[in-house]
Every structure is written in structure tokens, then in C-alpha cells.
Amino acid sequence: MVQRRIWEDEIPEWLNILNRLNEVNAEDADIHFIKDIEEDYKEILIVDEAKKFVYYWSGKRKLKTNRKGSWKLGWKNWLNKALRQKKYYERSKEEPRKNSISSEYKRSKEYLEEFKRKKAERDRRRYQDD
């Protein structure tokens, strides 16, 4: 009788999705790997990222797996990139920092008048030389 793994009854959905790829073998993923993924990447939707990962690598591209279980590194890199993108996107939606120059200026009337004055000065100089 073959001994069953502890997590065999509870394979996460994202691992089932990843298992669609030829290069991925769900048996390589142990309980520690699964827990690490689910704890480290709580901020992103892992199932959605798994679908994107499979879609990206299922075409003509081939996931480079020279060693057994190396797909796990590619999967972690994919999740790290998704996490960085999520943080960057959220940061870009925030208001500018309070001590930055842009928060002080915000296209005030004085700024716009100064800008128009400088542009008119440049244009006058440019066309006087002709």
C-alpha cells in the first residue's frame, strides 16, 4: 500500500490549475511549499495568477525546467512580480507625498501665469532671431 501524503486530500485550486502544464508536476509540491505560497502572497489572488501563468506558458513558450521541481522557482518569481505590480499600482493611486514639490505646486494660478510668461518670452526670442 502506498502511503498518501498529508495534503493529498486538500490540493489547492491554484495547484490543480498549474498542474495543467506539462512541465508542472503537482507531486513535487510539498506541504511546506503550499503553505509558503499561501502565506507569503495573501495580498494577491493566487488562483487568478495561476490562470495567467498557465495561459502564458501554455503556448509556444516553454517553461525552462532543467531540474526536477524547478517550475516552483518560476511560479514564485511570477507571484513576486505580481505582488510588486500590485504594490506599485496601489502606490500610484495614492495622493502625492506631503513634503514633495508637486503637492505644494498643484498647477496654481501663479504657476500657470508664470509658465505662460516664460513661454511667451521664449517665443519672442525665437522669432526675433529670424
* Whether residue 26 has pLDDT greater than 70: yes
Task: Give the integer Cα–Cα distance in Å for 33 and 99.
Answer: 42
pLDDT (tens digit per residue) in 103-119: 555 567 787 888 899 99
Averaged pLDDT for residues 36-50: 93
Question: Among candidates 107, 106, 84, which has minimal Cα distance to 95?
Answer: 106
Averaged pLDDT for residues 3-8: 53
* Whether residue 44 has pLDDT greater than 90: yes
Task: Write down the mean pLDDT value for the chain.
Answer: 81
Task: Give the integer Cα–Cα distance in Å for 56 and 51.
Answer: 9
71 and 63 Cβ atoms separated by less than 8 Å: yes
